[in-house]
Amino acid sequence: MLEIKNLHARVGDKEILKGIDLTIADGEIHAIMGTNGAGKSTLSNVIVGNPAYEVTEGSIIFNGQDLLSMNTEERANAGIFMSFQAPIEIPGVSMTNFMRAAVNSRRKAQGKEPLKSTDFLKIMREKRKLVEIDQKLMNRSVNEGFSGGERKRNEIFQMAMLEPTFCILDETDSGLDVDALRIVAEGFNKLRTNETSALVITHYQRLLDYIRPQFVHVLIDGRIVMTEGPELALKIETEGFDWIKNQQ
Positions touching other proteins (CB under 8 A) are 48-52, 71-73, 76-77, 81-82, 84, 87-93, 97-98, 101-102, 105-106, 109, 141-142, 158, 162
Please, are residues 220 and 241 in contact by the beta-carbon 8 Å criterion? yes
Closer by beta carbon to other proteins, 158 or else 205: 158
Angle at 42 between CA 160 and CA 174, to 5 degrees: 55
Local structure of 56: helix, strand or coil:
strand
Please, are residues 55 and 15 in contact by the beta-carbon 8 Å criterion? no
Which sign, positive or negative, has the C-alpha torsion 91, 94, 97, 103?
Answer: positive
Phi and psi torsions of 91, nearest 5°: -60, 135
**Taking the complex as a whole, how short is the minimal distance between the CB of residue 166 and other proteins, in angstroms?**
13
Closer by beta carbon to other proteins, 90 or else 130: 90
**Taking the complex as a whole, how short is the minimal distance between the CB of residue 248 and other proteins, in angstroms?**
33
**Taking the complex as a whole, how short is the minimal distance between the CB of residue 13 and other proteins, in angstroms?**
19
**Taking the complex as a whole, how short is the minimal distance between the CB of residue 148 and other proteins, in angstroms?**
16
Which of these, 170, 169, 137, lies nearest to 151 by C-alpha position?
137
Closer by beta carbon to other proteins, 102 or else 225: 102
**Taking the complex as a whole, how short is the minimal distance between the CB of residue 69 and other proteins, in angstroms?**
16
**Taking the complex as a whole, how short is the minimal distance between the CB of residue 165 and other proteins, in angstroms?**
13
**Taking the complex as a whole, how short is the minimal distance between the CB of residue 73 and other proteins, in angstroms?**
5
What is each CA distance from 117 to 29, 62, 107, 108, 195, in whole angstroms? 35, 32, 14, 15, 29
Which of these, 167, 158, 163, lies nearest to 124 by C-alpha position?
158
Closer by beta carbon to other proteins, 68 or else 93: 93
Please, are residues 42 and 95 in contact by the beta-carbon 8 Å criterion? no
Rounded Cα distance, 157 and 163, in Å = 10
End-to-end CA distance of the chain: 30
Closer by beta carbon to other proteins, 59 or else 104: 104
Closer by beta carbon to other proteins, 61 or else 109: 109
Closer by beta carbon to other proteins, 79 or else 213: 79
